[in-house]
Structure 1
Amino acid sequence: MQSLFQILMLLLDIVWFFIIAHVIMSWLINFQVLNLHQPFVAQVWHMLNRVLEPIYSRIRRFVPPMSGIDLAPLIALVAVYALRIILINNAAAFY
């Protein structure tokens, strides 16, 4: 059961990394540091969108953008962190 706990923690870490990478890429694209006409940048951007859009769309149903600011990534990060806390506090159930 310890393996299951470690796998769940690894998956949450991967989701955390993807969300952070998506947020940073969106800033760099908006400030024109990165260009979506570059094939590699476009490929990474579309992959991150395909992976994270199902998560963001569920959050956006309840929290619409406020003054052009999308809070879905922030709420997703808080949810991932909350899940990590819940798993760590209940780690004894996995042993």
Structure 2
Amino acid sequence: MQSLFQILMLLLNVLWFFIIAHVIMSWLINFQVLNTRQQLVAQIWYGLNRILEPIYAPVRRILPPLGGIDLAPLAVLIGVAALRIILVNNYALFL
């Protein structure tokens, strides 16, 4: 059971990293530091969008529209942090 706990924590950590990378990359693209016409940048951006869009879509349906501000990544990060806290606090159940 401890392996299950470690696998869940690993998946949550990877998701956390992908979301942070996606947010930073979106800022760099919007401030024209990165150019999506470059093949590597476009492939990474496309891959991150394909991974994260199914997670963001339900959150975007719940959150009210705020103009140009997308709070879905923030809400998902809070959800991932909450899941990590719940898993760590219930670690004894995995032993």
Q: TM-score range by the shorter chain?
A: over 0.9
* Separation (CA, whole Å) in 2 of partners of 1:24 and 1:64: 23
Q: Give the TM-score taking structure 1 as reference length.
A: 0.98
RMSD (Å), alpha carbons? 0.6
* Separation (CA, whole Å) in 2 of partners of 1:65 and 1:30: 19
- The yes-or-no answer on 1:26 pairing with 2:26 is yes
| Shift in Å, 1:64 | 3.2
SS at match of 2:70: coil
What is the letter of the counterpart of residue 14 of structure 1?
V
Structure-2 residue corresponding to 1:10: 10
Structure-1 residue corresponding to 2:62: 62
Contact 1:65 1:71 in 2 (8 A): no
Structure-1 residue corresponding to 2:44: 44
How high is the sequence identity, in percent, across the aligned residues? Answer: 72
Structure-2 residue corresponding to 1:85: 85
Off by >6 Å, runs of 4+ in structure 1: none
* Separation (CA, whole Å) in 2 of partners of 1:66 and 1:72: 11
* Separation (CA, whole Å) in 1 of partners of 2:64 and 2:38: 31
* Separation (CA, whole Å) in 2 of partners of 1:64 and 1:20: 22
| Shift in Å, 1:75 | 0.2
How many residue pairs end up in the alignment? 95
What is the letter of the counterpart of residue 34 of structure 2?
L
| Shift in Å, 1:65 | 3.1
| Shift in Å, 1:7 | 0.3
Q: Which runs of 5+ in 1 are unaligned?
A: none
